């Protein structure tokens, strides 16, 4: 815990003001030469976001450190006020918690993708064409029926959304200090999982044996005839947002990983449904019960990773169209941002700072014309590390007392 954390927790004062954190995953982007050198935020038609921007404070935040590309876990931890370098939660455990799996001390979980491979085992599609969730459920059941243990270690397999699933290993002397099998690109074979410490030697052997067995079981199930494993992790120890900031918190999200991360920081969890309208209606039904409401929108990130500029634009426009549902309840503080940037031109996460907008009765106005990266560059919030966003949100909600005489 650094001096900022100690000070903020010391200054906390409770009141009835509520804070809404709306996260469009992977929102940030870079100018795209195929679309008039505009970003998706600039290209999108967003009258509601732009009107809000004219009465808000704008800026950009850096999820971890300058030049460092964050995963979704570190990106969200920063938004919740946790230093992602101090509190690291692996992707496997995030997904497992989000799927409501029974997690025990000593378990090791991995986030997995079904993938497509050629006759030589070379990966041709890391996401197996984003198979339907129903197909994922079917293949996971086949794996579960065929592989229940590996050398005495229990194997628990749970399907996620589309191509995603979780494998949990349960047994004695397991260690999560392992490399990933995912080469992070097509045209390569899955990597052998390597131990990062001597204590992880046994676990690496178990995981590699599981992979070989699983590959045999699904080798004829094209397009999902291979698998990739990453984010090996054990159960984390992390203080709750209630203990740190005195907040009664809730997560409104559909995808397991974000639900899992929210649980680890003490949030209640509600399903967001499939559309922004669904998510905002869940907010409307529950906004009086909580004073910190985190709403997650996934598809800005998914389309960015697929290189689908227009898809990302349409998702932003869908959020804008549904925004009046949220605004009707007049939250005391509304923050709209992303957890990281996912430029469509790069087809992946990037280090670029993320646009952010904070609206409250006390935020001040930046005289912005739109909610875009360029407008945020000129905003009064400036450029700051994501872990300090919670300071601004608490301050705008009048939940921080004065420091010093």
Q: Do 25 and 108 lie in a common domain?
A: no
Residue 193: its pLDDT value, please?
Answer: 96
Summarize the confidence of residues 171-195 as an average pLDDT: 93
Residue 90: its pLDDT value, please?
Answer: 85
Q: What is the pLDDT of residues 247-263, one digit of tens each?
A: 999 999 998 889 989 99
Residue 137 covered by a domain: yes
Residue 215 covered by a domain: yes
Average pLDDT, the chain: 95
Count of CA atoms in the C-beta half-sphere (13 A) of 84: 25
Q: Do 244 and 297 lie in a common domain?
A: yes
Residue 287: its pLDDT value, please?
Answer: 96
Nearest by Cα to 225 from 92, 122, 344:
122
Residue after which a domain boundary falls, among 217, 233, 249: 233
Q: Do 45 and 187 lie in a common domain?
A: no
pLDDT at 184 over 90: no
Nearest by Cα to 170 from 218, 106, 240, 252:
106
Cβ atoms of residues 227 and 214 within 8 Å: yes
Q: Do 150 and 227 lie in a common domain?
A: yes
Residue 351 covered by a domain: yes
- Reported pTM: 0.83
Q: Which residues 6+ apart lie within 8 Å of 156 measured at CB?
A: 101, 144, 167, 168, 169, 170
pLDDT at 316 over 80: yes
Range of the domain at 22: 8-87+237-396
Q: Do 223 and 256 lie in a common domain?
A: no
Q: Do 287 and 374 lie in a common domain?
A: yes
Residue 121 covered by a domain: yes
Residue 45: its pLDDT value, please?
Answer: 98
Q: Do 261 and 385 lie in a common domain?
A: yes
Q: Do 297 and 222 lie in a common domain?
A: no
């Amino acid at each position: 815990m650094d001096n900022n954390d100690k000070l903020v927790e010391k200054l906390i004062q409770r009141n009835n003001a509520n804070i809404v954190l709306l996260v469009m995953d992977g929102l940030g982007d870079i100018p795209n030469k195929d679309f008039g050198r505009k970003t998706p935020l600039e290209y999108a038609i967003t009258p509601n976001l732009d009107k809000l921007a004219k009465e808000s404070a704008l800026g950009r935040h850096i999820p971890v450190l300058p030049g460092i590309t964050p995963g979704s876990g570190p990106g969200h931890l920063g938004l919740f006020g946790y230093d992602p370098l101090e509190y690291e939660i692996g992707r496997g455990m995030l997904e497992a918690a989000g799927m409501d799996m029974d997690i025990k001390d000593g378990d090791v979980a991995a986030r997995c993708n079904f993938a497509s491979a050629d006759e030589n085992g070379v990966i041709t599609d890391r996401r197996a064409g984003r198979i339907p969730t129903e197909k994922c459920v079917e293949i996971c059941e086949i794996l579960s029926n065929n592989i229940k243990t590996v050398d005495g270690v229990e194997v628990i397999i749970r399907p996620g959304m589309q191509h995603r699933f979780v494998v949990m290993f349960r047994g004695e002397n397991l260690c999560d200090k392992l490399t990933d099998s995912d080469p992070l690109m097509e045209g390569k074979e899955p990597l052998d999982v390597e131990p990062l410490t001597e204590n992880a030697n046994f676990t690496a052997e178990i995981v590699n044996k599981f992979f070989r067995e699983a590959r045999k079981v699904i080798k004829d199930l094209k397009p999902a005839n291979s698998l990739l494993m990453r984010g090996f992790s054990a159960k984390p120890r992390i203080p709750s947002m209630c203990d740190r900031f005195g907040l009664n918190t809730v997560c409104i999200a559909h995808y397991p990983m974000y639900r899992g991360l929210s649980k680890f920081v003490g949030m209640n969890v509600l399903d967001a449904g499939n559309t922004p309208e669904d998510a905002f209606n869940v907010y409307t039904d529950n906004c009086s019960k909580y004073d910190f409401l985190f709403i997650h929108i996934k598809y800005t990130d998914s389309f960015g990773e697929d290189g689908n500029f227009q898809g990302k634009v349409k998702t932003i426009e869908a959020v804008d169209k549904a925004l009046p549902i949220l605004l009707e309840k007049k939250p005391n503080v509304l923050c709209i941002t992303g957890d990281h940037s996912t430029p469509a031109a790069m087809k992946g996460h990037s280090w670029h700072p993320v646009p952010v907008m904070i609206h409250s009765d006390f935020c001040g106005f930046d005289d912005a014309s739109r909610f875009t990266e360029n407008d945020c560059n000129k905003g009064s919030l400036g450029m700051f590390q994501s872990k300090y966003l919670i300071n601004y949100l608490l301050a705008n909600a009048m939940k921080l007392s004065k420091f010093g005489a």
